[in-house]
Structure 1
């Protein structure tokens, strides 16, 4: 046991000093370095204060910085074939949705104007032919969809799915491509989770809590939606059936930005550690929580698994 503890301490120190992506057990689970998952995430470790870049991991346990522009690059979203990352950035002024090569960060180009840096959160349809995000329509924040190569029904490449005067944001596609779950504060001011058909019809509410419910993430097997519930000054990851039933708290001590593994067996999320945001992975039932230590003095957030 003493040897095991010392090995974990050495890995943590190496991570802090060298910037290596090494997992450190935090709770009832532990992973060896060879088991690091492939994911993209956001970090400020190689940038000035307030500047965030997109990184990705490579097996067995390496990582690479993909963006290095002035500004903040956040909310990465992997295309279904694993070749492309969409993300939101305020580079050049104003929030926008961008695409880039998922291997080396090349080919960065702006796809559309986004509503806000923190709530737009792009999501790919399973066939890779549509990207949903929150767009600003003359001051109204609505769920919109664009073909990644810019072909839309409206002639501008962008289709508007919601038109409510309240904010509609943070969409997530169902795996079968028939529905989109999203966040809205249309009923009473507190944000809740809603779902609609992929064409914007049949909108209905899935949650109704005293706090904020937001940032849904649909499981790849289609049965479950992870989301963030904020109450009592703390954000926590919750699960519910795709129809809104069986709502269950997974992270009583805190957590946000949930993202599913391709096999629907694990969930990555972000939580606060000593005042910094760090990445964790847990089983889909909330057990086996493991922290992925990047650097002790930096923020890491917005994890998302490689779907391939």
Structure 2
């Protein structure tokens, strides 16, 4: 009889796509403790096998860039290297992205080898990869957004930023011509950079929508602004001593959605929620949700639908039908230790770009595309970061 028994191996992702970073967790009885370890045999491309020895019951595996079923073996070993359990064998199915379902380019912010956030570009079909920014440590480039024609990208960077937020920058789609935006003050010879967060281009390309913290030294007080890229006019859209954040244009540019806790800030209740609002013609038109914990609303490009992250149980990505205000799930969290964030819809309105963050160590952060019409999930990019340090900060998709 073997001394120990491996009961199961949990696989962190399902399904697994080519290039994914996958975490295996061995489930044993409680008696398996140091000095015992685990030995693995992992099958890679071209039938290559890799032997790994670790004292941990977790192992990270980079899925190969091809379709197939990959066989893995693991067993418990003693300090002297003696096998003290039966060999547990399992297989992982790996799928490549389907060329027929995807198109266009995705920009996103991820950490480089120095731990600095940079902007990257990846082709959704071929996975061709390009780094667009090369900022120094501490100058993080984050929250990229495509212009309507895909010619430019707006993003934020701590370079030239101040205590209330980062500066807004633009660049060409290939990373060239990087410029900081400026808020003109004719009487000020030292023209300050335009400070803001979460920027998005208007559908006609004339304006940029962003949020700005007004009194961050005293209280979190965010409001929504627009910046006219032609005449450099900055216009404040919301005026409230609350958190008005995550602004997003409607497909025709006539409305703006955002998240706010304004009603709960003014109440005596200790329950602080964040609800979804829509603005039309500089006035709050409608509050669309009631007593929810919501973030990151994104308008569908072809329908009267807004997707958003809900932290309220059950957490996940939901959508609201603006015609009847019915809320329905799109992607439900697999556990309360997972966070999912929508970034944008595809041009045909059938697919949604989102990121998934595992809150336990190692923090596996992955960008996916979910195709509602096919009920299919496609992995685009994956990165692992230590506890407390998300590996991604913003993404956008220019699709055809």
Could you state the TM-score of these two structures normalised by the residue count of structure 1? 0.80
Relative CO higher for 1 or 2, CA cutoff 8 Å, sep ≥ 6? 1
Q: Does 1:223 align with 2:294?
A: no
Greater share of helix: 1
CA distances 1:30-84 after superposition (whole Å, capped 9, x unpaired) = 524685641111111x2322x2111112363201111111222111111101111
Aligned to 1:64: 130
Aligned to 2:253: 177
SS at match of 2:331: coil
CA RMSD of aligned residues (A): 3.5
CA distances 1:125-180 after superposition (whole Å, capped 9, x unpaired) = 111011111023455421100112343xxxxx200011011111111111111110
Out of 199, 222, 225, which is 1:122 matched to? 199
Change (3 A) 1:267 1:22: farther
Q: Does 1:238 align with 2:318?
A: yes
SS at match of 2:205: coil
Change (3 A) 1:21 1:212: farther
Aligned to 2:160: 92
Report the Cα offset of residue 304 of structure 1: 1.2
Query: Counterparts in 2 of 1:20-169, with a 5 A limit?
Result: 31-32=97-98, 35=102, 37-44=104-111, 46-49=112-115, 51-58=116-123, 60-70=126-136, 71-94=139-162, 95-111=166-182, 113-115=194-196, 120-139=197-216, 140-151=221-232, 157-169=233-245
**1: CA distance between counterparts of 2:68 and 2:152?**
29
**1: CA distance between counterparts of 2:154 and 2:214?**
21
Provide structure 1 residue ranges, at least 5 long, that are not aligned to the other structure. 1-7, 152-156
Aligned to 1:281: 369
**2: CA distance between counterparts of 1:27 and 1:286?**
19
Aligned to 2:380: 292
Greater share of strand: 2
**2: CA distance between counterparts of 1:165 and 1:21?**
50
Change (3 A) 1:218 1:22: farther
Larger Rg: 2
Q: Does 1:214 align with 2:295?
A: yes
**2: CA distance between counterparts of 1:162 and 1:126?**
20
